[in-house]
Structure 1
Amino acid sequence: MAIILAVMAVVAWRWWQNHPPYGPEALAITSSLRFVSYEEAQAALGEEAHAPLASGRDELMLGRVSWQAPPNPLDGGYFAIFLIDKRTKHKPGTFGVSAPGEGAVSVGSAGVENKIAQRYPWMEGAGFIKVGETGGRTNGNRLGVADEKASPLTFVAHFPYLKNPSRETIATAPVAKSDLLLALVYMGPDGQVYWAQRLQG
């Protein structure tokens, strides 16, 4: 009897641990994507942020993601915003970002995000690129949002034009809007993948 109760307690704890505090519908998320010039990108970001430098055949994608205040604070969890080239599974390497709240948004990647594609196959590219049996390498960056009040969020992603893009591990130009997946993922404070919401693509 004690063993059964222990097993039930573990199952209940795992359910509670991985149960999201709320779903994406609670946020009423809206989003947009469009290509812009450097001047348009800088104007959209405002004076407090800098647009990535672009030259020649480089491309800049302006994105906006907004949400209403969630029913609960993030409390150590975070939102991860991904822009993934569905052809290569690569993400941009450079972003310019503007959002309410100083230090509310970071640019980077985290190993725990490898679990996202395991649960949501359409999010392939969210984590690292697998190399061999146990290795991996980064494939660009995503935006990490540590403050639920950082809405509306505006970003500019840089897609550099390179002669040998096959050697790169970041998303490169030329890219079409239809090639891109924009998604918002809610990660829990202990690395739980609460949910992923497709926004564009």
Structure 2
Amino acid sequence: MVAGDGDQIFLGRVTWNRPPDPQKGSSFHIVVLDKRSHLMPSCIAATSARPDKVVAGADGSLDIAEKRYPWLRGIGLRKINGSFSNPGCAVSVRSVDASPVTFQTVLRPARPGTPPEHMVATAPAAVEDLLIALISVGPDGQVYWAQRLLH
């Protein structure tokens, strides 16, 4: 990720203890959400102790988490003008053994005239403006729990 004039880089690290008997196929999502706009960053990069198990992206479990936890409003698919759009990027951790995960995102200044379906979190932002959450997901996409790490 390259930052330009007016861009802001946010760097974070999430760690957890391995569950004693994790269910096979369990995973986590790490979500960054701008609390002011309820938008996610357009891109996020991550690495971990198991770099092959960490990718940027989103899936249907974020829709489930958003419906269950009102404080996660903005992480699910958005319906705009009759079609669905991706809300931005989260970190998908495909192994409970991947702790710790270090992530980086760049927020860019808002561009006037950005269509609603392309809106993402923008700079300037303070750390207090961001919510970081860890979401536990089962092998069939079921959401077990979500925890605010920074709020």
| TM-score over 0.5 (shorter chain) | yes
Q: Which consecutive aligned stretches of 4+ in structure 1 deviate over 6 angstroms post-superposition?
A: none
> What displacement does 1:102 show?
3.3
| Correspondent of 1:173 among 116, 120, 123 | 123
Amino acid at match of 2:15: S
Q: Distance in 2 between matches of 1:72 and 1:138?
A: 33
1:190 equivalenced with 2:140 (yes/no) = yes
The 3-state SS of whatever aligns with 1:103 is helix
Is residue 111 of structure 2 the alignment partner of residue 163 of structure 1? yes
What is the CA deviation profile of residues 42-63 of structure 1, one whole-angstrom value per residue up to 9, with x for unaligned ones? Answer: xxxxxxxxxx100100000010
Please name the residue that 2:3 is paired with. 54
| Mapped contact 2:57–2:89 kept (Cα < 8 A) | yes
**What is the CA distance between 1:165 and its match in structure 2?**
7.2
Q: Which has the higher strand share?
A: 2
Q: Deviations over 1:39-90 (max 9, x none)?
A: xxxxxxxxxxxxx100100000010101112112351121010000112211
The equivalent of 2:21 in structure 1 is 72
Structure 2 unpaired stretches of 5+: none
- Say what the alpha-carbon RMSD is for the aligned residues: 1.7
Paired with 1:131 and 1:154, the residues of 2 have a C-alpha distance of 32
**Unpaired runs of at least 5, structure 1:** 1-51
Distance 1:172 1:151, change over 3 A: same
SS at match of 2:32: strand
Q: What TM-score do the two structures reach when normalised by structure 1?
A: 0.69
| Structure 1 equivalent of residue 91 of structure 2 | 143
**2-structure distance, mates of 1:160, 1:198:** 24
SS in 1 for 2:28: strand
Structure with greater Cα Rg: 1
Q: Distance in 1 between the 2:77 and 2:119 partners?
A: 10
Higher share of residues assigned helix: 1
CA distance in 1, matches of 2:93, 2:114: 30
Asked whether the 8 Å contact 1:188–1:194 carries over to 2, the reply is: yes
> Is the contact made by 1:130 and 1:136 (CA closer than 8 Å) also made in structure 2?
yes
Aligned-partner SS, 2:51: coil
Q: Percent identity?
A: 38
What is the identity, as a one-letter code, of the residue corresponding to 2:65? I
The letter of the residue matching 1:68 is N
Determine helix, strand or coil for the equivalent of 2:128. helix
